[in-house]
Chain A
Amino acid sequence: MPMRPHPFIARLVYSLSAMAVVAAVTYLDFRVLGVNSATAALLYLLVVLAFAAKAGIEASVTASVASVFCYNFFFLPPVGTLNIADPENWVALLAFLITAVTASHLSAQARKQAEEASAGRREMSKLYEFSRALMLGNSETKLGGQIAQQIAAVFNAPSVSFYALNEDMTYHAGPVEPLVSSHSSSEVSVILRVVAKGGNAPQLPAKFCAVSLGGRPIGSLGIAGVQFSDTALSAVCQLAAIAMERARVQEAVNRTESARHNERLKSTLLDALAHEFKTPLTSIKAAVSTVISQRSHDAMENELLTIVEEEADRLTELVTESIKIARIGAGHIQLHKQHTAVKALIVSALAKLQNACDGRPILVSVPEDLPEVEIDPELIELVLRQLIGNALKYSPASAAIQVSAEQQGEWLTVHVADEGPGIPESEQVSVFEKFYRGQAGRHRIAGTGMGLTIAREIVQAHGGEIGLESVAGKGARFSFTLPKVAPTGDAAR
């Protein structure tokens, strides 16, 4: 792009040229053509109009004043002086001056309007180019970076800084950095952050503008070294805001889609796993139960067949439970709620842990009038088995375990307490984290570190909380809450 001269120099050159052209016309009229005063006045007027049209008001006014002087000196009697003898000639000179200045002014105004319209068209075309560049932007560069780069490229801006509020990040583009030489890059970032949040920028040789959409701040823009109308700057900011918002929405959609895809994949895998394990178990169970039902074998055969059937059942339960745990661990909890008496669940959980209990004293204390709760009985039973199972594993073989439930306002609280070594205060939060195993038992007692995490997930899915109280050496008491059921109709069914 050719270098443009400084506006003052350009005006000076035009004004000097105007004087030179007036001098040349005077020489031509006076010396070469020898025209009369009326013709000379018209020729001077032509020069003035030409400068008004091409060079602006300063050059045309200079041409007007120079013409008035030359006209008076060379063509109005007495010729060769600046005096005017005939008053009529004063009128002619004044009329010439007014005509020249007015024509200069009108012509210059028309020229200015044409220039403004042309600049507007150029800005529009650049804004279009900018918006197109943003639409086609590549996915490898961050959008904030793309915005800065495109503004610098499209508007020939030597220095552009764009601050993206959601990333708290400033992107710079253009050969001149930082945006203003008096401030460091990090100081410019601070100014941009202030502007993005609705504050004002200090007086600097750069333009700053907040980027927002519907009143919601998105970032800010700083541009230096290029002329920008306020309208164009505001349009650039709007386009940047729309692009940022579009990218944000797209990213959210992608994230949701990817989460849904992952969830589907996990679910399909778990279904496939369940199917693969349960198919052979179905054959075993069906075959052995058929043989047992025939009743044509002796006691030993019967005992062995019963063992096969029981173990097939146990394996089925392990598979079902493992897959259920995997689903919950992967964040899939589907609650199948029904009205349930907590006492019945405790009894059922203890029955399933019968072998693990191995004659341990288990004290169950549940008030007779405890209301039913609307819960997923299978999952809450899993929580109970997990807590009771832990109590059995982590307390001495002869120590009693207490399972109790009580009503506390709008909540039902279930406690499982043991007389084991307790859980140090430093570990009381961590024990609920995924794969965390207590320091004391991690090498002695088998476990996955998932049990309490899953218990917490299940309780939270019901809207309750799980926690523990423990004093070192005096056992631990785990408690979880369940919201009490509000009576509801079931008319639809």
Chain B
Amino acid sequence: MTNAKILVVDDEPQIRRVMKTSLTAQGYIIMDAKSGEEALEVLRREHFDLVLLDMNMPGMNGLETCEQIRRGSEIAIIMLTVRNQEADKIAALDAGADDYVTKPFSMPELMARIRSSLRRVPLSLESGVSTISFDGIEINLATRHVSVQGTDIRFTPKEFELLYYLASNPNIAIPHGKLLQAIWGPDYGREVVYLHVFVNQIRKKIEPNPAKPRYILSEPRVGYRFCLPAKSGL
């Protein structure tokens, strides 16, 4: 997807400059915004495939901007930040980001992250089924939509892919590394925190009681297991 359109949001002009130059050289179409407010404005006007969003900006910070974008869009979002602490990663993913890159980063690393975020997992090839339904929950691969008791629930692409992957491999424990590689790509495997955050978000959307999950169960130190009810439409 080398013609993908990317919005770079950073208050530092030099960073916008180097990103624009480097990413354009890779074949991406780049626009930039120097604040969260400006980014929201640009996103209202134009369609983008991905947003590279700096976390630490004056005015509306990256987290707020990310939450605002997520309210109306499923666009891929990668957060960029100088802080490398787990709490920051969780905050970024909780706000709706698909990925998180710590500054300074090498361009090949960022490219890999961008490719991963733009990549759509070929789910139909993995499972061979287009719709999974159980207990009033329907996961539709063709439309990439999930409905719970007849109500459409908004899922980001990564959330959808993770749910679909888990649901189409039911009742077996899938290791963290395998899940990460399946959904984010081959460069991933140690980012277990991503799974914790995304699984929590999915649980909030489909589980009757997210604190006592019925469908997505944790396998301590191993991974996750999707518990598919016996009478299901897989």
Contacts and interface: CB of A to CB of B under 8 A. Distances in A.
A280 B17 CA distance: 12
Contacts of B84: 320
A299 interface: no
Contacts of B105: 282, 285-286
Given A279-B12, A283-B15, A491-B220, A289 B83 contact: no
Contact of B83 (A274, A286, A294): A274
Question: In which size bucket is the chain A interface?
Answer: 20 to 34
Interface of A is mostly: helix
Interface string B1-40: 0000000000010110111011001000000000000000
A290 B22 contact: yes
Nearest to B102: A278
Interface stretch (B43-51, B106-114, B140-148): B106-114
Contact of B104 (A286, A293, A493): A286
B85 interface: yes
A492 interface: yes
Given A271-B83, A274-B83, A278-B82, A287 B218 contact: no
A147 B115 CA distance: 73
B106 A289 contact: yes
B104 A287 contact: no
Interface residues of B, number: 28
B196 interface: yes
A281 interface: yes
Contacts of A43: none
A283 B20 CA distance: 11
Nearest to A275: B82
A286 B107 CA distance: 5
Contacts, number: 74
Contacts of A278: 82, 103-104
Interface string A263-303: 00000000100110011111111110110011000000000
Nearest to A309: B106
B22 A287 contact: yes
A293 B105 CA distance: 13
Nearest to A294: B25
Given A278-B82, A490-B218, A293 B107 contact: yes
A281 B218 contact: no
B140 to A, nearest CB: 29
8 contacts: A274-B82, A281-B104, A282-B103, A283-B15, A286-B104, A286-B105, A312-B104, A492-B218
Given A275-B82, A282-B103, 19 more contacts: A271-B83, A274-B83, A278-B82, A279-B103, A283-B14, A286-B18, A286-B104, A286-B105, A286-B106, A290-B18, A290-B21, A290-B22, A290-B25, A293-B108, A320-B84, A489-B220, A490-B218, A490-B220, A493-B196
